[in-house]
Chains A and B, each alone.
Chain A
Amino acid sequence: MSEGALQAGGGSVGVEAPAPPSLGRAALLDAVELAEAPRRPLWRENLAIFAANRFALAGAAFLVLVVLFCFVGPLAYRTDQTLTNVINANLPPSGQFPLGTNPEGFDILGRLMVGGQSTLEVGFAAALVATVFGTLWGAVAGYLGGLVDALLMRVVDTMLSIPFLFFVVLLGTLLQPTLPLIIIAIASVSWLSTARVVRGETLSLRTRDYVVAARGFGNRHARLVLRHLVPNALGVVVVNATLKVADAILLFASISFLGLGVPPPATNWGRMLTTGINNLFDNYWWQLWPAAFLIVATVIAINAVGDGLHDVVDKRMGAGEGK
């Protein structure tokens, strides 16, 4: 037996070795995985699972390009995006203006970069705020259970009952629209589904042995929630947060379409798209399609990345439960 194992060397040693009879098939497979040498670090393994999803990889690459375009692009391609110049209004694409100009005479290519900055900022910031808040809310509800859970989740149900766009428009009426307030307004409707998802996760996690053990050691509630429940629900939370970025970008575009965005000269892709729509019957296609393409492609790319992360979490959870 030992001879065969020595000859085989390398990775497949574990497969040949007979398993102790007390271990089940799942445990054997786990043992095989563990025995595989050399063992790669966790993040490399996750990256490999992610990269196996070509759709997700393409999405990630596209997002990197978009971020470079918006944040580094203006350094290379300098345009004035604050002073209007009506002489140049509504010009079609040309050598001087690669993507034409808008009704105020701004260069559209440069404006897409600047507008992309606020669109991406709002998307990521709103998703972050919503995720942190929703995760804590859901974890506390799921962990404490009983009356507190019922009360916290009724609050979520209530907020979900108010159609989100109506709520955001109402907030926009009450408050002066600035970028931070728009982020909060979007987050205020987008944390709800996170709270529901995390509560569901927590309900199943809190009966696990390690949580029970940690409680047995006399850990306080806050520590249990923050150190044991939240980190273990993290995979699901990350996937959820990714999709939230896409939703926030779409919601921001809708808010801008309804005229509730940040006042000019500030801009974003949604507002640029709306300008294009307002001039729809003049056939200024360059005011509509570049902004439309960037919004849709970015949202698709984010969804693709979410899909890839979902694969990673799926494989991880599967391995952890011995599937």
Chain B
Amino acid sequence: MLGYLARRVGQALVVMLFVTLIVFGLLHALPGGLVRAQLGPKATPLAVHELEVQEGLNRSLPVQYAIWLGNALRGNLGFSYHLNTPVSTLIGEYFPRDLLLTGVAIFLAIAISVPLGLLQGARRNKGADYVLSWSLLAMYSMPSFLLGVIGIIILNIQLPLLPSTAQSFGQGIGTDVRVLVLPVLTLTLGNIAYYSRYVRSSVIDNLLEDYVRTARAKGVPERRVLVRHVLRNSLLPVVSLIGISFPYVVSGSLIVEALFDYPGMGLLFWDAQQTRDYPVLLGVVLLVSAAVVVGNLLADLAYAALDPRIRYD
């Protein structure tokens, strides 16, 4: 386990280093450079030069990278001139809301798609499986904002039950819950469409295994075979699937937050895109990527802890 742990953590560190290189590269691919982006097109050459010196942008690229990386590691991700706030403060404010939204959505999606996938696998190619497969495929084939719009049409326009925006998030538990239902529902449905097909095929694979035949042969009731044998073994891939799905979920949250005005990192990022707020854009990309790397790592380690075979690969 220790060897695996060391190898896997090392890999995550290399990936994270590459991520910083890409973000740093993008920082320098900015049209007109970072200084121009901050001061605007009308800045005098003197002002440009002063800020360049102040931010160390006249140094060589490797030196700049080292300085930038050192700052990022200490939590200094630059300053948003549009919002007049350090990027790290903004992220500290917005990131927990994302953890809430995506966390609840992932939890609900798993809680629903595992039994769903088990049902589909057990009733493979029968009525229930067909109906479910079709509806899930239709959901999977929808842009996630359309899923949200259908939610708004049903639960806001037709039946005026829920607010159509989450703008008012943060005004007490009561409104927060009401406001969160539609965004969470949208993200959850998208995730169910993503997860359940994997659970289904994992269940089908497991049903063909020898231990299932053995269990059936010794007379274990089918329900017990499914729950005690197939379900448990099908849960393993789900652990790594959660890890793999993080980029998908985080990307989905960008759309959902833009649609519902939910003040998370996605909305912060989208607003920054509209105002060309580069420090925020890059800070958010760096942080969501780090979150994905860490999430993947945790999922892999959990998998290895649950399944001893992985550690010896």
- Mark A residues whose CB is within 8 Å of B: 154-155, 157-167, 169-170, 172-174, 246, 250, 253-254, 257-260, 270, 273-274, 277, 280-281, 288, 292, 295-296, 299-300, 303
Residues of A close to B269: CB separation below 8 A:
166, 169
Pair A273/B11 contact, Cβ less than 8 Å: no
Residues of A within 8 A of B31 (CB): 174
Asked whether, in the complex, the Cβ of B273 is within 8 Å of the Cβ of A169, the reply is yes
| Closest CB in chain A relative to B87 CB, distance in Å | 15
Name 24 A/B residue pairs within 8 A (Cβ), A-sorted.
A154-B11, A154-B14, A158-B15, A158-B22, A159-B22, A163-B246, A163-B288, A166-B250, A166-B251, A166-B284, A170-B285, A174-B26, A253-B143, A254-B144, A257-B259, A259-B274, A273-B143, A273-B145, A274-B145, A280-B149, A280-B153, A292-B142, A295-B142, A300-B137
Contact among A160, A170, A274, A281 for B247, CB-based, below 8 A: A160
Contacts of A166 in B (CB 8 A): 250-251, 254, 269, 284-285, 288-289
Please give, as numbers and ranges, the residues of chain B lying within 8 Å of A155 by CB-CB distance. 18
A residues near B292, Cβ cutoff 8 Å: 161-163
CB B31 to nearest CB in A, in angstroms, measures 7
* The 7 A-B residue pairs with the shortest CB-CB distance in the complex, in nearest-first order: A165-B251, A158-B18, A299-B141, A163-B250, A253-B143, A163-B247, A163-B251
Task: Taking A154-B14, A162-B288 as given, write out 6 further A-B residue pairs in contact, using a Cβ cutoff of 8 Å, ordered by the A residue number.
Answer: A161-B247, A162-B289, A165-B255, A166-B285, A280-B149, A280-B153
User: What separation, in Å, do the CA atoms of A259 and B164 have in the docked complex?
Assistant: 20
Digitize B276-313: 1 where CB-to-A-CB distance is under 8 Å, 0 elsewhere: 10000110110011001100100000000000000000
Nearest chain-B residue to A174 (Cβ)?
B29
Question: What is the predominant secondary structure among interface residues of chain A facing chain B?
Answer: helix
Rounded to whole angstroms, the CA-CA distance of A184 and B190 in the bound complex is 26
Q: 1/0 contact trace for B11-36 toward A, CB 8 Å? A: 10011101100100010011100000
> In the complex the two chains form, what is the Cα distance from A155 to B18 in whole Å?
7
Question: Is B138 in the interface zone, CB < 8 Å from A?
Answer: yes
Binding site for A on B (CB under 8 A): 11, 14-16, 18-19, 22, 26, 29-31, 137-138, 140-146, 149, 152-153, 157, 246-248, 250-252, 254-255, 258-259, 269-270, 273-274, 276, 281-282, 284-285, 288-289, 292-293, 296
Chain B residues whose C-beta falls within 8 Å of the C-beta of A154 in the assembled complex: 11, 14-15, 18
Residues of A within 8 Å of B276, CB to CB, are 173
With CB as the reference atom, state the residue of chain B lying closest to A155: B18
A195 vs chain B, min Cβ distance (A): 15
Min CB–CB distance A126 → chain B (angstroms): 15
Chain B nearest Cβ from A242, distance in angstroms? 13
Q: Which residue of A has the minimal Cβ distance to B21?
A: A158
Cα A91 to Cα B274 in complex, Å, equals 31
Residues of A within 8 A of B145 (CB): 253-254, 257, 273-274, 277
Q: Which of A174, A258, A292, A296 contacts B255 (CB 8 A)?
A: A258
Q: Do A270 and B143 form a contact, CB below 8 Å, given A157-B11, A161-B19? A: yes
CB proximity of B163 to chain A, nearest CB, Å: 13
For the complex, give the distance between the alpha carbons of A274 and B258 in Å.
Answer: 12
- Per the bound structure, the CA–CA distance linking A164 and B244 in Å amounts to 13
Q: Given contacts A161-B247, A166-B251, A254-B144, is CB(A300)–CB(B138) below 8 Å? A: yes
